[in-house]
Structure 1
Amino acid sequence: MLSYRMFAVYTALMALVVIASNILVQYPLPGSIAGMALGDLLTWGAFSYPVAFLVTDLTNRQFGPAVARRVVIAGFVVAVTLSIWLATPRIAIASGSAFLIGQMLDISVFNRLRRQTWWRAPLAGSLFGSVLDTAIFFSFAFAPAFAVFGPNDAFAIENAPFLGLFATEVPRWISWAAGDLSVKILVGLVMLLPYGALMSIIRPMPGVEAKA
């Protein structure tokens, strides 16, 4: 039976993660490493967003894919509504689109692999979801082709060495996307630790495994 208290907790956590990420993605990392400007490579949002996949996977594990989709949709509505005020309309549109599609893919992949070794479902779901989410978000948020969603960020579309390392110059948002995806993959691996630790506490509700 669905616990509405837990549903509210998962939804609130999801909204909090997305709102924080919408704000943090607008701030490149300061400083440099080995002469490489971190601002050309990463934004702070890369470190916070993968937590959304942890919330989705725990919901899916406990209540199944149908409830996980409801949490994603509820978190999406709350997060995008507040993000329009806290961030910018274009960031909100990009985040909302990427979030919905990426999280729904995560749910599908997780559900297909949930009976296999415990780490495969959350890892594969977050990896596939992160790739799709990153491609959609950075394209919608910064690519000139999607200027219909709002004005371009001049700094984001300026050319800079790819990943701050290579001679080939590309718009900064492409390096941000590549850098953010790399960090998301690393953070996704780290998120296996809390997922594994919570497995004994957050158990599937009766009938969830059979229906999945």
Structure 2
Amino acid sequence: MTRAHLPGIVAMAAIVVTSNILVQFLFGQWLTWGAFTYPLAFLVTDLMNRIYGAGPARTVVFTGFLVGVFCSLVGTQIMGEFGPLVTLRIAIGSGVAFLTAQLLDVAIFSLLRRETWWKAPLASTLIGSSVDTVLFFSIAFSASLAWLEPANDTGWANEALPLLGIGPVVPLWVSLAIADWSVKLGLALIALIPFRLIVGHLDPRSVR
């Protein structure tokens, strides 16, 4: 790690902390405010990968993971209306999803880094975000994984309701996951703009 990597490390840590705070506040019926900040982690990872390479990008990912673990530990000690703000299942889901998705993002970006400038960040973010969503919501809320934390009642998340209020009947957590995934996909496209501007300023040759 060098001093040049510090902005990426600080940015990732700030995104993880902010997202862990904002996830406590609802945005509409299916989302939290954290859904709009967390996807920026993929932008930071991709910028680090493009400018400095896969090694520094992984360093930033592991920093974010450690910060996330710390936030989860703090959350388990804060009691909300229905118990701890962060349950064991949410902590496991968050950690596994973040680390798996971000490292997958780094690997895919590295494979595509010699392609047209937008292909690597778009493909890596879309795939990484999809994996992140599936892992987190299934680990944290799926009834089939209740054995991870038997004392934690996730019945509210498994209530059978129309998908996003209009589709077939599915567990509530599936609607939450799809809403979250949709935001990630939208932000993946929008993030190409700052990615292009930042990389174009710091390393113009890589976006020609």
TM-score (norm 1): 0.83
Taking the TM superposition and a 5 Å limit, the aligned residue runs for 1:44-83 are 44-83=33-72
Whole-Å Cα distance in 2 between the matches of residues 11 and 178 of structure 1? 29
Paired AA for residue 53 in structure 1: F
RMSD across aligned positions (CA)? 2.0
Note if contact 1:43-1:176 (Cα within 8 Å) is conserved in structure 2.
no
User: Which stretch has the larger CA shift, 95-104 or 151-160?
Assistant: 151-160
Higher RCO structure (Cα 8 Å, ≥6 apart): 1
Whole-Å Cα distance in 1 between the matches of residues 148 and 3 of structure 2? 36
State the Cα distance separating 1:125 from its structure 2 match.
0.5
**Structure 1 unmatched runs, 5+:** 31-38
User: Which stretch has the larger CA shift, 50-59 or 111-120?
Assistant: 111-120
Aligned to 1:193: 193
Taking the TM superposition and a 5 Å limit, the aligned residue runs for 1:34-45 are 39=29, 41-45=30-34
State the Cα distance separating 1:201 from its structure 2 match.
2.7
Moved over 6 A (4+): none
State the Cα distance separating 1:50 from its structure 2 match.
1.2
SS at match of 1:14: helix
Residue by residue over 1:160-184, the C-alpha shift from the partner in whole angstroms, topping out at 9 and shown as x without a partner, is: 1111112x22111101111111111
Whole-Å Cα distance in 2 between the matches of residues 15 and 91 of structure 1? 19
Aligned residue pairs: how many?
Answer: 193
Paired AA for residue 76 in structure 1: F
Aligned to 2:103: 104
SS at match of 2:200: coil
Whole-Å Cα distance in 2 between the matches of residues 81 and 66 of structure 1? 23
TM-score (norm 2): 0.84
State the Cα distance separating 1:194 from its structure 2 match.
0.6
Aligned to 1:116: 115
SS at match of 1:160: strand
**Structure 2 unmatched runs, 5+:** 76-84
Whole-Å Cα distance in 2 between the matches of residues 139 and 27 of structure 1? 21
